[in-house]
Amino acid sequence: MTGKLFIQAITKVTAGLLLTGLLLFLPAGSFSYWNGWLLIGVLFIPMVIAGFVMMKKNPELLKKRLNAKEEQSEQRVVVVLSALMFLAAFIVSGLNFRFGWIILPKGIVYAATAVFLLGYILYAEVLRENEYLSRTVEVQENQKVIDTGLYGVVRHPMYMSTFLLFLSMPLVLGSVISFVIMLVYIPIIAKRIRNEEKVLEEGLAGYSDYKKRIRYRVIPFVW
């Protein structure tokens, strides 16, 4: 693990923390937006822990996870749409707190927090199972098909975890309106998966057979 990679990781986490705080508390007009602090805690504390674990055990995987530069033009569109989705959902959640549009009961917020943490656990397990996991759509040198663990249940367990994370996130923030906005993630991720599977079928030996064996993409018995 080089100092350069460490600085890159710390810089990205700090920038993400500052941007998230800005998008939540500026529209809320107050630092008393407790849902915002709750999300920041459950989002960034596990993120930092996971980063230190990868730094020690698998710095190459950390390097891949920090690389978000897509080579596929279709995937760059997905990245832009995702960014706009998060931007809108976070700003609306802050405005929802500020103007008291629809206030969710704390029980729903805490239940959503539990689902969010479950998503993080699945995310960590996928990182453990797949050393080739990258934030960009690509076929890596010497990459092999992973078909055990969660990959024996669905073809894209990482996206299964992000479903739990992203759809519970607006409820942690206490905003039903933001939840509706985040539903846009479904067609966005469907577009990403179509392109990703095309790339994998063309460049990864054995992936076509894997698709035939594992029927579901993201949600067991559903999709």
In a domain, 221, yes or no: no
For tokens 């018995």, the residue is 221
In a domain, 11, yes or no: yes
Alpha-carbon distance of 163 to 159, in angstroms, equals 6
DSSP 149: G
Alpha-carbon distance of 19 to 5, in angstroms, equals 21
Side chain identity at residue 17, one-letter code:
L
Q: CATH no. for residue 50?
A: 1.20.120.1630
What range defines the domain where residue 143 resides?
Answer: 3-213
Cα dist. 219→2, 83, 163, 172, 176 in Å? 38, 23, 9, 22, 23
Q: Are residues 125 and 118 in contact, defined by beta-carbon separation less than 8 angstroms?
A: no
Tokens of 165: 């994370």
Which uninterrupted H or E stretch holds 212? helix 207-213
Q: Are residues 223 and 217 in contact, defined by beta-carbon separation less than 8 angstroms?
A: yes
In a domain, 84, yes or no: yes
Tokens of 53: 């674990």
In a domain, 222, yes or no: no
In a domain, 220, yes or no: no
In a domain, 126, yes or no: yes
pLDDT tens by residue, the chain, 223 residues? 567 777 888 888 899 999 999 999 999 999 999 999 999 999 999 888 887 877 777 777 777 666 656 555 666 788 889 999 999 999 999 999 999 999 999 999 999 999 999 999 998 898 888 877 765 656 666 788 888 899 999 999 999 999 999 999 999 999 999 999 999 999 999 988 998 898 889 888 899 999 999 999 999 989 8
Half-sphere exposure of 171 (CA within 13 A, CB side): 19
In a domain, 223, yes or no: no
Number of domains in the chain: 1
Side chain identity at residue 10, one-letter code:
I
Residue 91 makes CB contacts below 8 A (sequence gap 6+) with 23, 27
Counting every residue written for the chain, the total comes to 223
